[in-house]
Structure 1
């Protein structure tokens, strides 16, 4: 294999398409599988300190991105995705921008391997790298939003061909994609409800892990933190005096 063929002969040749392509349905299915597993690992592996589970997943993630960057035909997650969507009509997207996006994922996985596989040096900000990776996969799976493809477009100053969902083509939205005032209000209420619900969950729920404690302390003001500590101290003191009686 020459360097030229490695750089440009990437993806599948499909009759009727001028460029090499990737099946977006497989890519989205694979992203969904990895995002689901990653979310489970956050709670089980990191939240409950099951170190080996987290190490196996992150090692697998690194290997999977290696396969995607060099030859996606042998990526375990893409092959699993193919198994689930093999009866669906393929949706072809440009291979080069997908490779660029997966290279970003591969780069993100390197510090994760160092922190969590080669050694177990876990902090809140390092966990955020895992959350970032899962978030990118969730966006691709749920909404067909490929942030790496957008970065590719910004760097190379050219519209990539065959972006997921036709996102690179400038076009007028169809009526079914528009919002009337009532629909806008429903969306605004839903978003507000998600953020308000998350805030009160973090404030009111007793945290069981360092990650939960950090999130809890982050959403509170200094005055609220001081009052919370004073209330906890008072509660402990009242309990101690009650036991003495």
Structure 2
């Protein structure tokens, strides 16, 4: 039930914000990525992260895991985590990380959160170039301001 409640808590506001009142922003994208990660782990690896989160929060094993996936002690050969699956897992995590980076780096900064995240993802050279461009624009605006009011 905890995993179901977790899914409902994530799905209900996302339905409103993405279907009824569509305005994408980084928080909504982050919630979608969390949902995708939860679904991917359960579908690809038979790991219910909702049950794992419940176990981590409550410090006890979940009693009613669907399908008995949490009670299995002996893994069949098909259930073992082989090297190909490890590579796929690492690739998925890296691609999702790059996706988050690309989203923040290339998104127009309309909110304070995106502006802050953009500056956090910039290198020192990019920050210095941005500062020099800002100073140059201010200097040009100052010297090109002709007072024709006389």
* Residue in structure 1 matching 2:35, options 101, 120, 138: 138
1:198 corresponds to 2:100: yes
| C-alpha separation in 1, matches of 2:66 and 2:56 | 11
Q: Encode CA deviations 1:155-207: one digit per residue, 9 max, x unaligned.
A: xxx53422355454251333333343334323322322221232233224331
The alpha-carbon distance between structure 1 residues 196 and 140, as it changes in their structure 2 partners (threshold 3 A), is closer
* Residue in structure 1 matching 2:11, options 8, 33, 39: 33
Deviates more, 1:26-35 or 1:221-230: 26-35
Q: Which residue of 2 aligns with 1:171?
A: 73
TM score, norm. by length of structure 2: 0.55
Q: Which residue of 2 aligns with 1:227?
A: 129
Q: Encode CA deviations 1:19-59: one digit per residue, 9 max, x unaligned.
A: xxx597x65763453263376399739x5xxxxxxxxxxxx
| C-alpha separation in 2, matches of 1:195 and 1:140 | 12
* Residue in structure 1 matching 2:54, options 124, 148, 159: 148
1:217 corresponds to 2:119: yes
Are the aligned partners of 1:28 and 1:140 in contact in 2 as well (CA < 8 Å)? no
1:188 corresponds to 2:94: no
Q: Matched residue of 1:169: which SS?
A: coil
The alpha-carbon distance between structure 1 residues 140 and 160, as it changes in their structure 2 partners (threshold 3 A), is farther
| C-alpha separation in 1, matches of 2:37 and 2:104 | 27
Are the aligned partners of 2:2 and 2:54 in contact in 1 as well (CA < 8 Å)? no
Q: Matched residue of 2:49: which SS?
A: coil
Matches within 5 A, 1:1-245: 27=5, 30-31=8-9, 33-34=11-12, 36-37=14-15, 40=18, 44=23, 134=31, 138=35, 142=39, 143=42, 144-146=48-50, 147-152=53-58, 154=59, 158-164=60-66, 166=68, 168-234=70-136, 236=137
Are the aligned partners of 2:105 and 2:118 in contact in 1 as well (CA < 8 Å)? yes
| C-alpha separation in 2, matches of 1:179 and 1:43 | 39
RCO greater where, 1 or 2, for CA within 8 Å and sep 6 or more?
A: 1
| C-alpha separation in 1, matches of 2:102 and 2:124 | 17
Give unmatched runs, 5+ long, in structure 2: 43-47, 146-150
The alpha-carbon distance between structure 1 residues 161 and 227, as it changes in their structure 2 partners (threshold 3 A), is same
